[in-house]
A and B are shown apart, each in its own frame.
Chain A
Amino acid sequence: MKEIVFENVCKKYGKNLIIDNLNFTIKSGERLILLGASGCGKSTTLRMIAGLEDITSGNLYMNGKRVNDISSGKRNISMVFQNYALYPHMTVADNIIYGLKVQNIAKAEISSRLKAAVEMLELGGLENRKPKDLSGGQRQRVALARAVVKRSELLLLDEPLSNLDAQLRVHARKELVKIHQTYKQTFIYVTHDQVEAMTIGDRVAILDKGRLQVIDTPSNVYNKPANIFTAKFIGSPGMNIFAAAYADHFLKIGKQSVKLPEFWSAYIGKRNCREFYLGIRPEHIFLQNEKRKNSFVGVVKYVEEYGSHCGIYFDLEGHEVVASGTNTALKPGTNIYFTLDSARMHVFDKESKKNIGYPEVCYDNVYQYQSV
């Protein structure tokens, strides 16, 4: 299995810095997701691993060996391209086994691997068709079959599901995980879709403007985001972030203030953090019908319907905040009262925009809901 280490890796196109000092390790056998908006450098990172892009500076290691100058063919990796890159003049079977033929693998071995891949990816009966006679989902499976017959230690996937419709995507996600469990390759998966990232990944690396923002488990990325970018990027709608202040056990947002529970007061107090950014996810805002002790008040702006629930957008001291709710009848301009789930609050440093951490009680599974 392959472990991959990025050491101070930079990539420039002319004067444009695309990848800025990348340092991280991809563990052998894991499913790592490279997640980010388009243009963030995630595909470039993948292509550097594949050897399809030169590395401007820094070192890339595979299993301890520096591979900067090793050609892609010698790196023993398979890749699924975004548009699948199937050879249009070859049949499905020829597409799948082309690489094996190039490597002069014995015919019997080739046909047994082809059979296994065709079975696994449910391509039986399509072997003699040309790519143009296949549906999008079938093409995607052929591309996967081509990648798995090689039995390489590393499988790179560049947005492989982005051309599929929503239903096929759900199915294909399960299939990908199944493939990983069968062959136990190291998976590196590029996507801009956070649902794919959360469902497929063992770990998620989030990139922004060529910089690694965070690399962590999907659960941590969502529940304990390391910085404001990650907090906003993950979740739909993303986390609400607004400027807040702490003074004397009280949390102040604009002119409103409520008393913080003791564990937060102590935590923030100890860090001498007076002004900061407060983060709270929409589902951790509790809406109320009337004003209670310790509740904030906002003014409803509009309501977005999602089917299972709705997003209620309101104004809180000049910040637009969204909360999950069920009451779609809320009229714009009406007052809305709410409290925050203090165990799910996030505090980010005003300067560095990094998460300052959590009081121990927030990590505690026995912790009970306690509103601010």
Chain B
Amino acid sequence: MRIESNLKWHILLILALFISLMPIVFAVSTSFKELSEAYSNVLGIIPDKPTLSNYLRIFQELPLNKITFNTLVVAATVTIFKVITSVMAAYAFVYFDFKGKNLLYFILISTIFIPFTMTMIPNYLIISQIGLRNNIMGVILPQLSDATGIFLIRQAMRSIPMPLIEAARLEAAGNFQIMANIVLPLVKPAVISTGIMFFINSWNEYVWPVLILKDTTNYTLPLALQLFVSSEGGTDFCLAMAVSVVTMIIPLGLYLIFQKYIINTFTSSGVKG
């Protein structure tokens, strides 16, 4: 019975894995094909005549090094800033007592549900007025305010048994010591997965940079990708896929490095006592 039901699940999982991996395999494979083969041999995974010409071309046609650097600066700044502020705000919401705490938290969390399209125009006007259009600072700034991290990290902190914090308080540990020595090590998986989520979201951000950035040298990777998708002479899939692969590499590498923490978030149940 057990093996049988496991088998069912395994088939389902293999199917899901296939569905989710297929586009990536397709992208990588097409990026090494010549355009003619991309049309004639659409589903072939291994190209007949593998070529690096697509990669050489995209780096020649666009300042891709600069664009990748821009994207990294935006994503890293947004991630680091949001992780730090989210951890500190979550700590305050969990361990400090102050008047109006719950109301403030409620207001803060409800901002998560404000759609991007509602803040888009006011944000655009503000960024224009302070002269940050066509500047990656203008891309970064509106992304910094986000309560999602506060919510996620607060939930993780709330699962820490209160006596652990009280024990540290009795030892005369200050709030920064408690945060660094007790709370952060215990919520590390949650912080890291929140950080990765921030990074990937910011890395993939498209609509806002499109509004703000004008010059190609200031572009981020999703904008560069768009250049190849909708060029007037029709889409060159091979080039578009090569840019896709470049866009994927850094988030994928980060995910591979930190994946054990992401898995930990779901499996760690903490030690009693």
A-side residues, CB < 8 A to B, are 50-52, 71-74, 77-79, 81-89, 98-99, 102-103, 130-132, 136, 139, 146, 150, 163
Which chain B positions have C-beta within 8 A of A98? 168, 171, 173, 181
User: Which residue of A78, A83, A89, A163 contacts B161 across the interface (Cβ within 8 Å)?
Assistant: A83
Check A79/B170 contact, CB under 8 A, given A85-B164, A89-B186, A163-B273: yes
Q: How far is the CA of A146 from the CA of B167 in the complex (A)?
A: 10
> Which A residue sits closest to B173, measured CB to CB?
A102
Asked whether A139 lies within 8 Å of B182 as measured between CB atoms, the reply is no
| A-B contact list, 8 entries, CB within 8 Å | A52-B166, A73-B173, A74-B172, A83-B163, A87-B182, A99-B172, A103-B171, A132-B271
Bound-state Cα–Cα, A146 to B272, Å: 17
> Across the interface, which residues of B come within 8 angstroms of A85, CB to CB?
161, 163-164, 166-167, 273
In B169-195, the 8 Å CB interface with A consists of 169-173, 177, 181-182, 185-186
Given A83-B163, A85-B164, does the pair A72, B273 have CB atoms closer than 8 Å?
Answer: no
User: A87-B182, A89-B185 are contacts. A79–B273 as well, Cβ < 8 Å?
Assistant: no
If A73-B173, A136-B273 are given as contacts, then 16 extra A-B residue pairs at C-beta distance below 8 Å, sorted by A number, are A74-B172, A77-B170, A78-B170, A79-B170, A83-B163, A85-B163, A85-B167, A85-B273, A87-B182, A88-B270, A88-B271, A98-B173, A98-B181, A102-B173, A130-B271, A139-B273
Which of A74, A82, A89, A139 is packed against the most chain B CB atoms within 10 Å? A89
- A-side contacts of B163, CB under 8 Å: 81-83, 85
Counting contact residues on chain B (CB < 8 A from A), the size range is 20 to 34
Given contacts A85-B161, A89-B185, A131-B271, whether A79 and B167 have CB atoms under 8 Å apart is yes
Q: How far, in whole Å, are A85 and B272 apart by their CA atoms in the complex?
A: 8
| A80 shortest CB reach to chain B, Å | 9
Interface residue from A71, A102, A146 paired with B177 (Cβ < 8 Å): A102
Is the Cβ of A83 less than 8 Å from the Cβ of B272? yes
Bound Cα distance A131, B270 (Å): 11
A75 closest partner in B (C-beta): B170
Name B's A-contacting residues (CB within 8 A). 161, 163-164, 166-173, 177, 181-182, 185-186, 270-273
Closest to B178 in A: A102
Q: B271 — which chain A residues lie within 8 A by C-beta?
A: 86, 88, 130-132
CB closest residue in chain A, given B188: A89
Please name all residues of chain A whose beta carbon is closer than 8 Å to the beta carbon of B168 when the two chains form the complex.
98, 102
CA distance A78 to B170 in the complex (A): 7
Cβ contacts under 8 Å, A132 to chain B: 271
Closest to A139 in B: B273
Min C-beta distance of A150 to chain B, whole Å: 7
Contact in complex: B166, A73 (CB < 8 Å):
no
With a cutoff of 8 Å between Cβ atoms, the chain A residues found around residue B166 in the complex are 50, 52, 72, 79, 81, 85
Complex CA distance for A52 and B172, rounded to whole angstroms: 12
The 8 Å CB contact of B171, one of A81, A86, A99, is A99
Chain B nearest CB from A18 CB (Å) reads: 17
Closest 10 CB pairs of A and B: A73-B172, A99-B171, A85-B163, A88-B271, A132-B271, A83-B273, A84-B273, A85-B167, A81-B163, A89-B185
What's the Cα separation between A310 and B216 when bound, in Å?
93
Q: How far is the CB of B157 from chain A (nearest CB, A)?
A: 14
* Residue numbers in A under 8 Å from B185 (CB-CB): 89
Given A81-B166, A81-B167, also A88-B186 (CB < 8 A): yes
Min C-beta distance of B44 to chain A, whole Å: 50
Q: Once the chains are docked, how many angstroms separate the CA of A89 from the CA of B168? A: 14
